[in-house]
Structure 1
């Protein structure tokens, strides 16, 4: 088979693809659980429960017709729900503690190959975010982790959460290119499936540890993507960067 044409820009999913949310949120949650005297709660299970509401929150936004709110707001609602599931009343906790706990998603660590891989890819192609995160969250994360984006585009830019087609098509529009000239880089087959349906090129990056070794919830969406790599540095090799 002939190699696919090189895209004009790369757009990246962030949570799980670029940063290791589970390890980071587990670490942060362990500290906050200790601060409220609940070290008996498993921090990794808490992180999974917090993140586990994510897909339902995205679906709920679309089905309810709720006006768009940034991911920071949804993360806070999900945090409070996870606390209530463990018989902790969020109203009993200090507001600044809750706000800082919610900002754990601003302080996620990159995967070991991320910065080197992005830096190499950027030498040849523009690299931007195509994330459900809001700009403020993604900016704070990028500055802390040294992520060298050319542009930070959050869901608050498109006004839509993936897998809504508007999220993918608006990104291409903002970059002044056709959808087929934009490649989504993601560790999630469901995300890539939605991007392909919008005409984008696709690059899969395997992150087997995203869920602590547990199977990915969207594995059944797997297809043959234009590119498939085990790291961002391997993707850079594939794209001649």
Structure 2
């Protein structure tokens, strides 16, 4: 075999070997490059998250959480206020007890002594002009109505007595007009009469009593009763 033939046969092998070496070298470069890229990325992240940056990020997260909590608290407060307002309106509409007159001047009080009465004063007087609307202080049934104090005597003039669900009675005296009759069902705040100056009266006013029975002689302190029922006098 000639020398040239031997060389020609060896060339493919040499080329393949060189190709493998080159490919291996390129692979190594690619692997090294990729590793270097990953390392560079980690290094960048580590460099960004400095202690100061970490503190700032934590502060930002806490501020965001606090803002969200404050918003939730405000929403809860608004919702609570709406519920309370609704309850207040409902309570106002369905008040169990009210003032018998809206505008007045308090004059003779309960248990007050004087020449006007054979015994101490049995109610509370509200000085008002003749014809002032008189309202039922509470819901109930009219058990007395008319002149002669509705049966309690001429000193009361025209009068009304209402029986209430709690077993108490309210009385309205010295009226100029009576707008309800015995047996009528009335609601708290309903117009039942007009104030006047009838009977044993020193001037235009409403005489108001709270009683334990429908009759004279069983009166309680009407102001204390109304206040205990939530009425501001």
Q: Which TM-score bucket, shorter chain as reference?
A: under 0.3
More helix, by proportion: 1
Larger radius of gyration: 2
TM-score (norm 2): 0.22
More strand, by proportion: 2
TM-score (norm 1): 0.22
Q: Which has the higher contact order (CA 8 A, sep 6+)?
A: 1
